[in-house]
Amino acid sequence: MPIYALNDDIAFPHPSLASADGLLAVGGDLKLERLLLAYENGIFPWFNEEDPPLWWSPPQRAVLFPEETRISKSMMQELRKPGYEVKFNTDFNSVIKHCQQSRIDAEGTWITQEFIDVYTQLHEMGIAHSVETYYEGELVGGLYGLTFGDVFCGESMFSLRSNASKIALIRLSERLIEKEFQVIDCQITNPHLVSMGAREITREDFLTILHDSSKNKKENLF
């Protein structure tokens, strides 16, 4: 499959035209309109800071159905510990910056300042959300993502204390069940997510869920 080069037009090729590893297009920008169009069509940006934007739609999509969230016995014990508190949308800026730093420390990051600026706009629009885990009043972990209908598109997470991001994900799943969301989009699988109950579905199945979700707009998620 060819890799499509984007120009100034706000448009993407169909996700089914992505390469075997899921790479669909290269280039373009991180303008608000382009990002919204991407996510609405199951496409997400993922690239190194020194590279042009790369746009992905993998043939197998990692998802977590909230009701399938797996909580181990050790996690149940952790959740019962005094001192933990989980909040929603109280410190989006700190969450995304911690996610940026954790990626820089690990292997480089796509969370550039431009990226932070546009996702902050999405947060102000009520589309991007943060989940924060506090321990004894200190922010120790969390995650952020976007909502489209009844789909939560997870973007990144961080932990400054063991299990803090898992606690955020568990509490998010509980809230999404309460609000009758269908699925958390995890994009690409990893052992951490699998241990929490994530699994892969086909691109076609994910796009069906995503397009159906547009009929189920949710208000006041948090």
Q: Does residue 222 lie within any of the structural domains?
A: no
Helix (H, G, I), strand (E, B) or coil at 144: strand
Do 51 and 91 fall within a single domain? no
In order, the DSSP letters of 184-202 are: EEEES--HHHHHTT-EEEE
Output the domain CATH number for residue 31. 3.30.70.3550
pLDDT at 77: 94
CA-closest candidate to residue 185, choices 210, 153, 145, 155: 153
Same domain membership, residue 78 and residue 38: no
pLDDT in the model for residue 51: 85
pLDDT attached to residue 108: 61
Domain boundary pick from 39, 58, 77? 58
| pLDDT computed for residue 216 by the predictor | 67
Strands 54-56 and 151-159: unpaired
- Half-sphere exposure for 221 (CA within 13 Å, toward CB): 30
Rounded Cα gap, residues 80 and 114, in angstroms: 39
Question: In the structure encoding, which two tokens stand for residue 153, read together?
Answer: 């598109």
Residues 44 and 135 in one domain: no
For residues 83 and 193, membership in a common domain is answered with yes
- For residue 221, being part of any structural domain is answered with no
Q: Count of domains in the chain?
A: 2
pLDDT tens string, the chain, 222 residues long: the values are 678 999 999 999 999 999 999 999 999 999 999 999 999 999 999 888 778 899 999 999 999 999 999 999 999 999 999 999 999 999 999 999 999 987 655 566 678 888 999 999 999 999 999 999 999 999 999 999 999 999 999 999 999 999 999 999 999 999 999 999 999 999 999 998 999 999 999 999 999 999 998 766 665 666
Residues 138 and 202 both lie in one domain: yes
CATH of residue 121: 3.40.630.70
Residue 3: predicted pLDDT = 86
What pTM value is reported for the model? 0.92
**197-to-54, 63, 69, 99, 162 alpha-carbon distances in Å:** 28, 9, 5, 22, 19
Site of tokens 């796509």: 110
Residues 48 and 70 in one domain: no
Per-residue pLDDT at 197: 97
Q: Are residues 109 and 188 in the same domain?
A: yes
Same domain? For 156 and 142 the reply is yes
Q: What are phi and psi of 48, to 5 degrees?
A: -85, 155
Residues 24 and 120 in one domain: no
Q: Quick one: 40 and 124 in the same domain? A: no
| CA 24 – CA 8 distance, rounded (Å) | 16
Is residue 218 one of the residues assigned to a domain?
no
- Among 12, 41, 58, the domain-final residue is 58
Which domain range does residue 30 map to? Answer: 4-58
On whether both 88 and 164 belong to a single domain, the answer is yes
Give the pLDDT of residue 48: 81
pLDDT of res. 160 = 96
- Tokens at residue 56, please? 């992905």
The CA distance from 162 to 152, in Å, is 24
Domain boundary among 24, 39, 58: 58
